[in-house]
């Protein structure tokens, strides 16, 4: 008997018409059926050189690594919804079909295995004797960290405790825009907003990143620059021979410096908080203790978690402080771009915001619960402009995908990016139609595996609640106060481990 996790489904290939067999969720014990499973080697894909695989094409530039999203799309069009590619000794199976996603998710169990989200950060952190962080660990170590943060980062009730801070920073940001009206680089401005918001939640104080012409603003710009260096150079290293794993190449040294600067700034704020907690809580009176408990809620909660060290706290705080730069920020900018480009949707959203929030300055938990159309707008913008190409799993058991045997331990990339623009799943896929995500419309999407911008299951994005709260609060305030007008050309993205805008992001914010 061959114990395989499989699922019956006839599917249609992507770029060309073809039918494939994905067998059903059960063990296969029929000899004939076992024989019909094709081997791993038969999975189609670009032919490459021994060990190097396809890497040389990215190195010499015949394939553009910064447009990797379109390289993969081209391969899906050529080979169908499953293909494999080897880069420097690592063979990855790329899949692009909700039924296959379902099979992979069924296999993952309570402790799913992934590749590190950022291999270079993992290396830097290991060398610096830091905790590698949730997205860079597996097994028991991951489970220990995830259990510790689950309550404080994933429970909506816990995250909404930071609404006062989120509202305060968003109000300040909106006031600045009301003065400026024209913003040439919204990507940069909203990066400062993201750091200011998360910094306030982590470190209990305003960092001053939105104060123009100050030292604090310079610090924010340095963090934004260092973050860009991390992702750019990580992409260069992903598409090079992995020599940096064995000795410090020039690129790795630059990356190391960027990591060091970013971590150093976050860590100095954390040290300040830990000292302050020590004086105010250990040696203070009732009043100072109560104040510190509110100001330092996040860090105190982590300190009270079982099995969590100072090192772990450092990396968790670093993630909450900085991860929004490459995720929440591009999600915000693309949502605003989509709204500015669609007067119909912008007007409908304004009507919703007006009826739910009115002229209030503070967005509440109840308001967020009622902003249904806004949530659909954000989902739809994440479909048109996803921030990641894929969700990665290493399968625990042998499985069959599309009739091919995938041995346990294979790196599988579930490609959302390509799925989102596929007309088999989305009517008029190039158009911004938030109604797809609402019940009962004639374009409603029904397959639960089709849009998973935050992933799903035990490894679902740990920052999801914070990211969504930040996005809903700021977007609703911007729509409440302004008519949005996009002043740029086309909106485009490049691949830098995640996908990130590579176009100018000028907007006009016309007061209502
Ligand atoms: C629009 C914003 C964001 C999107 C679309 C997003 C998306 C994702 C996705 C797809 C994953 C992989 C999930 C999986 O493997 O199943 C992930 C993991 C993760 N994200 Fe996010 N993310 C966002 C914002 C954030 C923010 C702001 C933070 C930090 C507060 C964050 C922290 C993490 C962490 C720590 C993981 C690893 C979780 C684990 O392996 O247990 N993310 N995110």
Report percent pLDDT > 90 for the chain: 84
Looking up tokens 């691949």, which residue turns up?
495
Pairing of strands 482-486, 8-12: unpaired
Tally of CB atoms within 10 A around 16: 10
- Contacts of residue 313, defined as CB under 8 A and 6 or more positions apart, other chains included, come to 270, 299, 302, 303
Residue 301 CA, ligand 1 centroid: distance in Å: 20
Helix/strand/coil for 380: helix
Ligand 1 within 6 A of CB of 331? yes
Q: Where are the beta strands (DSSP E) in 42-141?
A: 82-87, 90-95
Q: H-helix or E-strand containing 441?
A: none
Instruction: From residue 433, give the alpha-carbon distance in Å to each of 141, 262, 404, 444, 458.
Output: 41, 38, 36, 10, 30
The end-to-end CA distance of the chain, in Å, is: 68
What is the pLDDT, as a whole number, of residue 26? 53
Q: Which atom of ligand 1 is nearest to the CA of 471?
A: 1
3-state secondary structure of 130: coil
Residue 262 pLDDT > 80: yes
Q: Which residues contact 113 (CB under 8 A, 6 or more apart)?
A: 138, 139, 393, 394, 396
Residue 35: how many other CB atoms lie within 10 Å: 8
In this predicted model, what pLDDT tens digit does every residue of 309-366 receive, in sequence order? Answer: 999 999 999 999 999 999 999 999 999 999 999 999 999 999 999 999 999 999 999 9
335 against 451, higher pLDDT: 335
Of 310, 317, 267, 325, nearest to 296 by C-alpha is: 317
pLDDT higher than 70, residue 30: no
Average pLDDT, the chain: 92
Report residue 261 CA to chain centroid gap: 22
- 8 A C-beta contact, residue 339 and residue 484: yes
- What is residue 252's predicted lDDT score, i.e. its pLDDT? 97
What pLDDT does residue 345 have?
Answer: 98
Atom of ligand 1 nearest to the CA of 393: 15
**440 φ/ψ sector (left φ>0, alpha ψ -120 to 50, else beta):** left
The residue whose C-alpha atom lies closest to atom 17 belonging to ligand 1 is 461
Q: Which of 26-35, 143-152, 171-180 has the lowest mean pLDDT?
A: 26-35
* pLDDT at site 451: 76
| Range name among 189-203, 216-230, 425-439 with the lowest pLDDT average | 425-439
C-alpha span between 440 and 159 (Å, rounded): 30
Q: Is the CB of 412 under 6 A from ligand 1?
A: no
- The confidence band for 282, taking pLDDT boundaries of 50, 70 and 90, is confident
- Under the banding of pLDDT at 50, 70 and 90, the label for residue 139 is very high
Q: Is 461 in the pocket of ligand 1 (CB under 6 A)?
A: yes
Beta strands (DSSP E) in 421-486 are 482-486
Please give the distance, rounded to the nearest whole angstrom, from the Cα atom of residue 123 to the centre of ligand 1.
19
From the CB of 195, is ligand 1 less than 6 Å away? no
Nearest alpha carbon to residue 381 among 478, 493, 224, 477:
493
96 marked as binding residue = no
CB atoms within 10 A of CB 137: 19
Do 63 and 22 contact (CB within 8 A), yes or no?
no
Q: Is the pLDDT of residue 83 over 80?
A: yes
What does the alpha-carbon distance between residue 260 and residue 408 come to, in Å, rounded to a whole number?
36
Q: Would the pLDDT of 428 be above 90? A: yes
Query: Ligand 1: which atom is nearest the Cα of residue 392?
Result: 15
**Which tens digit of pLDDT belongs to each residue from 463-481?**
999 999 999 999 999 999 9
Instruction: Taking residues 440-462, report their average pLDDT.
Output: 87
Structural domains in the chain plus CATH codes: 8-117+392-406 (no CATH), 130-387+421-511 (1.10.630.10)
Tens digits of residue pLDDT in 431-448: 999 999 998 887 787 788
Residue 483 CA to residue 130 CA, distance in Å, equals 45
473 lines ligand 1 (CB under 6 A): no
Could you read off the pLDDT of 170-194 as tens digits, one per residue?
Answer: 999 999 999 999 999 999 999 999 9
Mean pLDDT over residues 213-225, rounded? 98
Looking at the DSSP bridge assignments, the partners of residue 8 are: 23
Beta strand 19-23 with 498-501 is unpaired
* Ligand 1 neighbour 320 (Cβ under 6 A): yes
Compute the distance from residue 324 Cα to the ligand 1 centre, in Å. Answer: 9
pLDDT for 18 beyond 50: no
Which of these, 37, 30, 21, 35, lies nearest to 398 by C-alpha position? 37
- Averaged pLDDT for residues 491-496: 97
Instruction: Choose the residue to mutate in 139, 148, 454 for probing ligand 1, maximizing ligand atoms within 8 Å of C-beta.
Output: 454
Residue nearest atom 1 in ligand 1 by C-alpha distance: 328
pLDDT band per the 50, 70, 90 thresholds, residue 241:
very high
What was the pLDDT predicted at 183? 97
Lookup: tokens for 87: 């880069």
Structure tokens at 44: 């189609």
- Report the range out of 13-27, 285-299, 380-394 with the highest average pLDDT: 380-394
Ligand 1 pocket member 477 (CB < 6 A): no
pLDDT at 389 over 50: yes
Predicted local distance difference test score (pLDDT) of residue 34: 74
The finding on whether 146 has its CB within 6 A of some atom of ligand 1 is yes
Ligand 1 proximity of 135 Cβ (cutoff 6 Å): yes
- Mutual angle of helices 372-384 and 328-341, in 10-degree steps: 100
The three-class DSSP label of residue 389 is coil
3-class DSSP state for residue 307? coil
Task: Report the pLDDT value the prediction gives residue 157, as an integer from 0 to 100.
Answer: 87
Q: What is the pLDDT of residue 155?
A: 86
Mean pLDDT on 259-264: 98
């Amino acid at each position: 008997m061959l114990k395989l996790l499989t699922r019956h489904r006839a599917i249609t290939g992507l770029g060309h018409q073809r039918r494939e067999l994905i067998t059903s969720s059960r063990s296969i014990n029929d000899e004939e059926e076992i024989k019909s499973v094709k081997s791993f080697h038969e999975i189609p894909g670009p032919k490459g050189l021994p060990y190097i695989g396809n890497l040389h094409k990215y190195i010499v530039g015949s394939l553009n690594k910064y447009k990797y999203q379109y390289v993969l799309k081209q391969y899906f069009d050529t080979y169908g919804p499953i293909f494999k590619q080897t880069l420097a000794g690592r063979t990855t199976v790329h899949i692009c079909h909700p039924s296959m996603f379902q099979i992979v998710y069924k296999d993952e169990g309570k402790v799913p295995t992934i590749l590190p989200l950022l291999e270079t950060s993992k290396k830097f952190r290991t060398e610096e004797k830091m905790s590698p962080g949730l997205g860079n660990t597996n097994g028991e170590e991951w489970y220990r960290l995830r259990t510790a943060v689950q309550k404080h980062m994933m429970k909506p009730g816990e995250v909404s405790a930071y609404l006062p801070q989120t509202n305060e920073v968003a109000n300040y940001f909106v006031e600045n825009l009301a003065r400026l009206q024209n913003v040439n680089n919204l990507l940069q401005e909203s990066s400062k907003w993201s750091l200011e918001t998360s910094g306030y939640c982590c470190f209990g104080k305003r960092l001053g990143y939105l104060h123009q012409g100050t030292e604090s603003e310079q610090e924010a710009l340095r963090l934004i620059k260092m973050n860009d260096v991390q992702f750019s150079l990580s992409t260069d290293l992903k598409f090079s021979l992995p020599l940096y794993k064995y000795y410090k190449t020039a690129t790795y040294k630059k990356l190391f410096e960027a990591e060091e600067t970013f971590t150093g700034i976050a860590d100095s704020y954390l040290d300040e908080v830990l000292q302050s907690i020590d004086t105010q809580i250990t040696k203070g009176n009732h009043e100072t203790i109560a104040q510190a408990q509110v100001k330092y809620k996040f860090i105190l909660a982590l300190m009270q978690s079982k099995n969590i060290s100072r090192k772990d706290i450092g990396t968790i705080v670093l993630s909450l402080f900085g991860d929004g730069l490459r995720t929440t920020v591009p999600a915000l900018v693309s949502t605003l771009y989509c709204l500015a480009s669609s007067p119909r949707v912008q007007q409908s959203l304004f009507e919703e915001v007006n009826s739910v929030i009115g002229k209030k300055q503070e967005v509440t938990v109840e308001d967020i619960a009622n902003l249904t159309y806004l949530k659909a707008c954000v989902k739809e913008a994440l479909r048109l402009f996803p921030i990641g190409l894929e969700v990665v799993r290493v399968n625990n058991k042998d499985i069959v995908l599309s009739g091919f045997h995938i041995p346990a331990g294979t790196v599988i990339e579930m490609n959302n990016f390509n799925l989102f623009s596929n007309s088999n799943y989305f009517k008029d896929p190039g158009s911004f139609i938030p109604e797809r995500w609402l019940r009962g419309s004639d374009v409603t999407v029904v397959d639960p595996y089709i849009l998973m911008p935050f992933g799903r299951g035990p490894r679902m994005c740990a920052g999801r609640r914070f990211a969504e709260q930040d996005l809903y609060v700021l977007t609703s305030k911007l729509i409440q106060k302004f008519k949005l007008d996009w002043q740029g050309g086309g909106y485009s993205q490049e691949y830098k481990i995640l996908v990130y805008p590579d176009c100018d992001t000028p907007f006009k914010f016309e007061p209502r």
